């Protein structure tokens, strides 16, 4: 089995550190049960032997096979051929081979329905001479195909699948990814390649955020001014929408649209200002935040408009759910509108929350009329709404708990905001139903699952993949695998493997970084840039908006901070090595740490000429200087620890102060290396 960190070496991390890290897992990797599966299956038993992959491999169905499973089988064989270079004899693109002559057989009872709680389970048996995949529905077959692709390994004799038995079923029915195409428009090919990534890790719902203050991104035939005036010409035709829905369905993925109302609605009101709660005209917002424009909930024309709109959308989107947003209405236009205030009094609506609940109820009735259930952000959770709506909790876990206790279904997104550049471990340990959740068993059943949310204020089509992958695979595991699967180190080990394999789907989370660096440098000589990028991360949470620059829809997202990955693998491994060294005092580990620090320290002088030749890089010169300073402090600390010399208090204080200064962001990024160096400095005091 190949070292799971080989991709890291390819990305330029120093070989000494990498070899140490890999050797720490060497014994475990010899265990054939230590597989690179994400998500981890419900039950797995590894047996003796290997199924060898040769050009004679043929795939066949037991019984009838529908179009979805046949297409999936074709994609499976194509990806397998791409990895192995084998010229398979089976004409898999034309039809499946006869089951009697096939070494890979699959069977299912019925086509799966794309709706919550459909059976997605599968059973997989691999023996030396045959692979057998059995499922209740073809959705389970699709999941089984992805598991087999993840199981593929190599040894001196060639490619193989380890022999084993898997019985697998998801823990949660709702496992989603939100992609915001309103703030920054994402072309169809971006959506499709991410649907492929979702299928690879067994996510089953694309939450398509189609409207917001910055854009209305969908062709509307009955109200064409919506896309004509609210999109800057960047929108999906209805044929493109149908294409995406069909593409997703072939991969077992539902597509739920979101039309954000009554707030976040500027792009709607550009086209139809008479429906607003204040006089127009309006224009598309270019900045980010919460804005005043909001639909008038007291005007019957509003509901006539939405009745016609949702009738059209209900026929376009086959999914049983439509998301209405419902978040961040600041109520300013409602408060300043005399007629709206009079309406509130006449209908005993005590505040704007009650008024929005009235609006939500009217919209819910319209959706129900067209056979759709309503989903909304947790602001829609108000008494009186029917119990078949779904509450999406984003402001915290409490809304999920409260809604379940009152009989409402819910999904968790708080803690899964992948646009905030938190580490994979942060998302991984965020469970929709943790031990601390004070719910009865029946109430827990109302928690359907969760969604990762990719808001697009700070991404474009060339950077969005790097913000989604591979960390979303960790969220996918949390939503699929048993709650007991919580080994963070093993998650990272498997995440390394899946990150590389996701590239075969056309995802650009690694590839585009190199391209962006060449563009910034104006040169192919990007070694020093690659080195500093190893240990920097974009600012977390919303801090990037507080650094003096005003980001808008038109701002360039092409700088070093945009090329940086959300989580520095080099810094994470360095922290692990540091902890291990401080625990064991192993000289080999210390040598690896020191060699790495020397490399980072030396990079400053290598980077300076590149910065001088490319003014756009000038913002990272202070960051490079900080890396030099922090690395030098780490080297001095290591020398003191190895010499068993007690740390000089004055030096320790100076080093701590220097590290604190280095923590201040430069270029909207930060050094992820500093916590480990601070530990080394602290350790000098105990020698």
Mean pLDDT, rounded, for 21-39: 55
Specify if 21 maps to a domain: no
**Do residues 258 and 352 share a domain?**
yes
**Do residues 289 and 380 share a domain?**
yes
Nearest C-alpha neighbor of 75 from the set 241, 245, 252 = 252
Q: What is the pLDDT of residues 311-332, one digit of tens each?
A: 999 999 999 999 999 999 999 9
CB of 663 within 8 A of CB of 670? Answer: yes
CB atoms within 10 A of CB 15: 11
The pLDDT value recorded for residue 27 is 31
Q: How far is CA 227 from the centre of its chain?
A: 28
| Tokens found for residue 127 | 């023996």
The pLDDT value recorded for residue 437 is 79
Nearest C-alpha neighbor of 511 from the set 563, 455, 457, 459 = 563
Mean pLDDT, rounded, for 80-94: 86
Q: What is the pLDDT of residues 531-546, one digit of tens each?
A: 999 999 999 999 999 8
| Tokens found for residue 346 | 């006449």
The pLDDT of residue 13 is above 60: no
SS3 153: strand
Q: What is the pLDDT of residues 167-197, one digit of tens each?
A: 999 999 999 999 999 999 999 999 999 999 9
**Do residues 153 and 256 share a domain?**
no
Peptide bond between residue 608 and the one before it cis (omega within 30 degrees of 0):
no
Nearest C-alpha neighbor of 614 from the set 529, 512, 513 = 529
Specify if 130 maps to a domain: yes
The pLDDT of residue 591 is above 70: yes
Q: In Å, how far are 532, 582, 607, 656, 670 from 601, measured between CA atoms? A: 10, 22, 11, 18, 16
First CA to last CA distance, the chain: 40
Q: What is the pLDDT of residues 598-611, one digit of tens each?
A: 999 999 999 999 99
Q: Extract long-range pairs of 91-97: CB within 8 Å, 24+ residues apart.
A: 92/59, 95/70, 96/59, 96/60, 96/61, 96/65, 96/70, 97/58, 97/59, 97/60
**Do residues 645 and 536 share a domain?**
yes
| Of the residues 144, 168, 192, the one at which a domain ends | 168
Q: How far apart are CA 149 and CA 202, in angstroms?
A: 13
Q: How far apart are CA 442 and CA 632, in angstroms?
A: 57
Nearest C-alpha neighbor of 328 from the set 286, 282, 239, 266 = 266
| Tokens found for residue 317 | 């989107």
**Do residues 534 and 637 share a domain?**
yes
Mean pLDDT, rounded, for 45-73: 95
SS3 401: helix
**Do residues 569 and 493 share a domain?**
no
**Do residues 449 and 519 share a domain?**
no
| Tokens found for residue 201 | 């890790």
Specify if 22 maps to a domain: no
| Tokens found for residue 99 | 């089951």
| Of the residues 115, 133, 168, the one at which a domain ends | 168
Angle formed at CA 81 by CA 77 and CA 86, multiple of 5 degrees? 125
Nearest C-alpha neighbor of 413 from the set 443, 466, 464, 375 = 375
Q: In Å, how far are 41, 62, 408 from 165, measured between CA atoms? A: 10, 19, 37
Residue 381: pLDDT band (50, 70, 90) is: very high
Specify if 13 maps to a domain: no
The pLDDT of residue 10 is above 90: no
Domain span at residue 606? 514-686
The pLDDT value recorded for residue 226 is 98
Q: Across the chain, how many H-helices and E-strands are there? A: 27, 19
pTM score of the predicted model:
0.94
Say which residues have a Cβ less than 8 Å from residue 189's Cβ, sequence separation at least 6: 506
Specify if 523 maps to a domain: yes
The pLDDT of residue 635 is above 70: yes
| Of the residues 471, 505, 539, the one at which a domain ends | 505
**Do residues 369 and 479 share a domain?**
yes
The pLDDT of residue 3 is above 80: no
CB of 23 within 8 A of CB of 4? Answer: no
What is the pLDDT of the chain when averaged over all its residues?
93
Q: How far apart are CA 535 and CA 280, in angstroms?
A: 48
Specify if 56 maps to a domain: yes
**Do residues 222 and 270 share a domain?**
yes
Q: Considering only 53-62, 98-107, 517-526, 668-677, which range has the smallest mean pLDDT?
A: 98-107
Residue 625: pLDDT band (50, 70, 90) is: very high
CB atoms within 10 A of CB 540: 14
Residue 91: pLDDT band (50, 70, 90) is: confident
Q: What are phi and psi of 111, to 5 degrees?
A: -65, 140
Rg (CA), the chain: 27
The pLDDT value recorded for residue 382 is 85
**Do residues 88 and 121 share a domain?**
yes
Number of domains in the chain: 3
**Do residues 185 and 160 share a domain?**
no
Helix 488-501 and helix 471-480: axis angle, to 10°?
Answer: 120
**Do residues 210 and 349 share a domain?**
yes
CATH number for the domain harbouring residue 124? 3.30.379.10
Peptide bond between residue 281 and the one before it cis (omega within 30 degrees of 0):
yes
Catalytic residue, chosen from 95, 312, 328, 619, is: 328
Q: How far apart are CA 304 and CA 230, in angstroms?
A: 20
Element at 355 (helix H, strand E): helix 352-369
The pLDDT of residue 646 is above 90: no
Helix, strand, coil shares of the chain, percent, nearest 5, are 45, 15, 35
Residue 16: pLDDT band (50, 70, 90) is: very low
Say which residues have a Cβ less than 8 Å from residue 523's Cβ, sequence separation at least 6: 610, 613, 614
Annotated catalytic, 514? Answer: no
Nearest C-alpha neighbor of 174 from the set 364, 398, 475, 451 = 451
CATH number for the domain harbouring residue 312? 3.20.20.80
């Amino acid at each position: 089995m190949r070292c799971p960190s080989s991709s890291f070496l390819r990305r330029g991390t120093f070989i000494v550190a990498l070899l140490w890290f890999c050797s720490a897992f060497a014994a475990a990797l010899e265990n054939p049960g230590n597989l690179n599966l994400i998500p981890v299956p419900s039950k797995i038993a590894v047996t003796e032997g290997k199924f060898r992959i040769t050009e004679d491999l043929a795939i066949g169905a037991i019984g009838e096979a529908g179009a979805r499973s046949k297409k999936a089988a074709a994609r499976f064989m194509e990806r397998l051929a791409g990895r192995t270079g084998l010229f398979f004899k089976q004409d898999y693109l034309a039809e499946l081979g006869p089951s009697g002559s096939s070494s890979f057989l699959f069977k299912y009872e019925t086509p799966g329905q794309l709706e919550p709680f459909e059976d997605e389970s599968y059973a997989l048996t691999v023996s030396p001479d045959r692979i057998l995949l059995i499922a209740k529905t073809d959705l389970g077959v699709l999941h089984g195909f992805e598991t087999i692709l993840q199981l593929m390994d190599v040894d001196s004799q060639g490619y193989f699948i380890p022999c084993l038995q898997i019985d697998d079923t998801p823990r949660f029915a709702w496992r989603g990814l939100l992609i915001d195409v309103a703030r920054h428009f994402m072309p169809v090919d971006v959506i499709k390649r991410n649907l492929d990534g979702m299928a690879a890790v067994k996510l089953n719902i694309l939450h398509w955020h189609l409207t917001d203050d910055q854009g209305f991104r969908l062709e509307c035939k009955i109200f064409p001014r919506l896309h004509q005036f609210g999109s800057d010409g960047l929108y999906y035709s209805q044929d493109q929408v149908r294409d995406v829905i069909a593409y997703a369905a072939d991969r077992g993925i539902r597509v739920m649209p979101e039309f954000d109302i009554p707030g976040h609605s500027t792009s709607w009101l550009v086209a139809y200002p008479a429906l607003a709660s204040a006089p127009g005209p309006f224009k598309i917002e270019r900045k980010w935040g919460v804005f005043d424009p909001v639909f008038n909930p007291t005007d019957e024309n509003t509901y006539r408009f939405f009745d016609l709109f949702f009738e059209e959308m209900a026929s376009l989107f086959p999914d049983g759910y439509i998301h209405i947003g419902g978040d961040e209405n600041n109520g300013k236009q409602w408060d300043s509108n005399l007629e709206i205030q009079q309406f509130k009094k006449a209908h005993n609506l005590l505040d704007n929350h009650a008024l929005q609940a009235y609006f939500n109820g009217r919209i819910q009735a319209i959706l129900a009329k067209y056979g759709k259930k309503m989903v909304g952000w947790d602001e829609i959770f108000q008494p009186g709404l029917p119990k078949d709506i779904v509450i999406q909790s984003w402001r915290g876990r409490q809304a999920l708990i409260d809604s379940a206790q009152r009989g409402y279904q819910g999904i968790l997104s708080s803690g899964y905001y992948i646009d905030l550049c938190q580490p994979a471990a942060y998302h991984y340990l965020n469970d929709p139903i943790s031990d601390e959740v004070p719910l009865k068993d029946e109430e827990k059943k109302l928690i359907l699952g969760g969604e990762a949310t990719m808001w697009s204020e700070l991404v474009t089509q060339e950077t969005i993949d790097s913000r989604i992958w591979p960390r979303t695979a960790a969220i996918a595991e949390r939503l699929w695998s048993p709650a007991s699967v919580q080994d963070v180190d093993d998650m990272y080990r498997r995440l390394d493997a899946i990150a590389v394999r996701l590239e075969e789907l056309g995802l650009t989370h690694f590839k585009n970084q190199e391209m962006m660096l060449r563009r910034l440098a104006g040169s192919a000589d990007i070694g020093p840039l690659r080195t500093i990028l190893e240990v920097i991360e974009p600012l977390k949470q919303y801090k990037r908006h507080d650094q003096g620059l005003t980001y808008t829809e038109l701002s360039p997202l092409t700088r070093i901070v945009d090329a940086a990955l959300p989580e520095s693998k080099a810094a994470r491994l360095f922290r692990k090595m540091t902890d291990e060294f401080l625990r064991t005092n192993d000289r080999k580990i210390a040598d690896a740490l020191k060699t790495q620090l020397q490399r980072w320290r030396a990079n400053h002088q290598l980077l300076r000429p590149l910065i001088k030749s490319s003014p756009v890089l000038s913002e990272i010169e202070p960051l490079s200087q900080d890396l030099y300073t922090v690395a030098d402090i780490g080297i001095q600390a290591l020398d003191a620890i190895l010499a068993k010399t007690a740390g000089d208090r004055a030096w320790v204080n100076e080093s701590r102060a220097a590290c604190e200064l280095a923590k201040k962001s430069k270029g909207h990024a930060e050094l992820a290396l500093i916590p480990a160096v601070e530990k080394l400095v602290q350790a000098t005091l105990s020698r």
